[in-house]
Amino acid sequence: MTDPRRSIPSVDAIVASDAFLELIECYGRPRAVRAARAAVEYVRAQVARGDPVEGAADVGLYAVWAAGELLRGDVPSLRAVINATGVVLHTNLGRAPIAAVAAEAMAAVARGYSNLEYDIDEGTRGSRYDHCVDLLCELTGADDALVVNNNAAALVLALNTVARGAGVVVSRGELVEIGGGFRIPDILERSGARLVEVGSTNRTRLADYRTAIEVGGVAAILKVHRSNFRMTGFTEEVSLSELAGLAKESGIPLLHDLGSGLLVEADRLGLPEEPRPQDSLAAGTDLVAVSGDKLMGGPQAGILLGGREMVAALRENPLCRALRVDKVTLAGVEATLRLYRDGTQAVTDIPTLRMLAAPPSELEARAQEMVAALAAVGVQAVVRPGQGAVGGGTYPGATLAGATVVLGPGAGGADGLAGRLRTGDPPVIVRILDDCVVIDPRTVLPGQEEDLTRRVAEASRPSPEGQ
């Protein structure tokens, strides 16, 4: 028997075929040739595995396959999706959608020149690190501040600046994994610091910290906020103010990895108590690290807040350059922070906060509207009480009472429907509960309803040629 791979046409033959002319015209020769090569490689691999490919000898097959690939190649890799999961800070879906004014500020700075490192009054060189500082100090009571790439970067910079080659005391109850392999002990080590573990998983006392510091070689105390899990039962931990007292007495700084970055009172959002950076500083922390895109609801950033000397040392660390933010981020952080000057405005204008605070009555009304819009295009759905989540590794276990739109499973069951919703344009990401697709209006942004209705209608009636 002859090797079936020998019947596969050559890339040259495919590219020279009439069927390929249009693709070359449309996408240019280099891209079209690359697609032809990929098609040949795909069929070769398939045949080599013993899977016969019908029409493998026909150049037309490769033209069709290449056309599909070239079309898909024009769809941006990173693109907008509709988050219908009800998880507000969905890490996989880009965490925080930012406020309109923040997006506008970012676009304006991105498109043109700015005074990123220019002092307009003096006509001299300025510093990118000056932007946002006054606002951050005003909002949190800090003496100085530094914005870096994200909270993880903030922690690396803080540890490397304060404790390179020295010990850092951390409670065993706080040696946590934040997510995506970001573990406090590893970060500490990579920052050049030495981990000094104290206490036990469930109980750590002030005396444990004191004893460890008395041994010597300790440059800082680190408190890590357990943002993504809860510890209950026989537990004990040392408060920030007690740790701050010990730090002062020992002549070393107290660092606080807070993470979430909530600036308004949690009860404004109807959420349980959550420490804010201003509370941490008031308790006597020397340096607090928070995330810009968790509960602050801004662009991805890490924010360090503390005393002047401490923050000056961070700025002078050569690593600061490697972790620095770009002008676009700074513009977005500044515009977001400005909204916090008025707490009420923050909750209405910052999408993250607005979605968290959305009352069940409003969500129920939006769910009813969605059901009516779906009925108008022939899709049956019902409104049911449902629960959203804060997400982003914050508020574990907390649920947000609301209302959801529940669709019948339809062809291929709930998984089939969810898959079709995902693969259209724009992709719609849903949750499946009790074998039904559930749409949570909480995270469907204003203006996305029409697209959502259209996509659900499309996905509910799968046409053989359309999918």
Residues that bind ligand PLP (CB under 6 A): 150-152, 178, 224-225, 227, 257, 259-260, 291, 294, 302, 393
| Residue whose CB is less far from ligand PLP, 187 or 347 | 187
| Residue whose CB is less far from ligand PLP, 208 or 257 | 257
| Residue whose CB is less far from ligand PLP, 178 or 430 | 178
Beta bridge partners of 198: 171
Q: Please state, as a whole number, how many other Cβ atoms lie within 10 Å of the Cβ of residue 123.
A: 8
| Residue whose CB is less far from ligand PLP, 260 or 443 | 260
1-7 own/partner pairs: CB under 8 Å, 24+ apart: 4/47, 4/52, 4/56, 5/44, 5/47, 5/48, 7/56, 7/57
Q: Least CB distance from residue 99 to ligand PLP, whole Å?
A: 18
Q: Least CB distance from residue 159 to ligand PLP, whole Å?
A: 12
Distance CA 207, CA 199 (A): 9
Q: Least CB distance from residue 96 to ligand PLP, whole Å?
A: 11
Q: Least CB distance from residue 288 to ligand PLP, whole Å?
A: 11
Q: Which helix (H) or strand (E) holds 103?
A: helix 100-111
Break the chain down into helix, strand, coil percent, rounded to 5: 45, 20, 35
Question: Among 210, 273, 289, which Cα is nearest to 242's?
Answer: 210
Query: Residue 73's Cα: distance from chain center in Å?
Result: 25
Residue nearest to ligand PLP (CB): 259
Distance CA 313, CA 261 (A): 22
**Rounded alpha-carbon distances, angstroms, from residue 180 to 91, 184, 355:** 10, 12, 25
| Residue whose CB is less far from ligand PLP, 140 or 227 | 227
Distance CA 351, CA 349 (A): 6
Q: Least CB distance from residue 186 to ligand PLP, whole Å?
A: 12
| Residue whose CB is less far from ligand PLP, 85 or 151 | 151
Beta bridge partners of 203: 236
Distance CA 164, CA 168 (A): 9
Q: Least CB distance from residue 90 to ligand PLP, whole Å?
A: 13
Q: Least CB distance from residue 392 to ligand PLP, whole Å?
A: 7
Q: Are 52 and 4 in contact (CB under 8 A)?
A: yes
| Residue whose CB is less far from ligand PLP, 150 or 336 | 150
Q: Are 83 and 391 in contact (CB under 8 A)?
A: no
Q: Least CB distance from residue 68 to ligand PLP, whole Å?
A: 37
Q: Least CB distance from residue 151 to ligand PLP, whole Å?
A: 3
Distance CA 85, CA 367 (A): 13
| Residue whose CB is less far from ligand PLP, 58 or 177 | 177
| Residue whose CB is less far from ligand PLP, 39 or 178 | 178
Q: Are 370 and 386 in contact (CB under 8 A)?
A: no
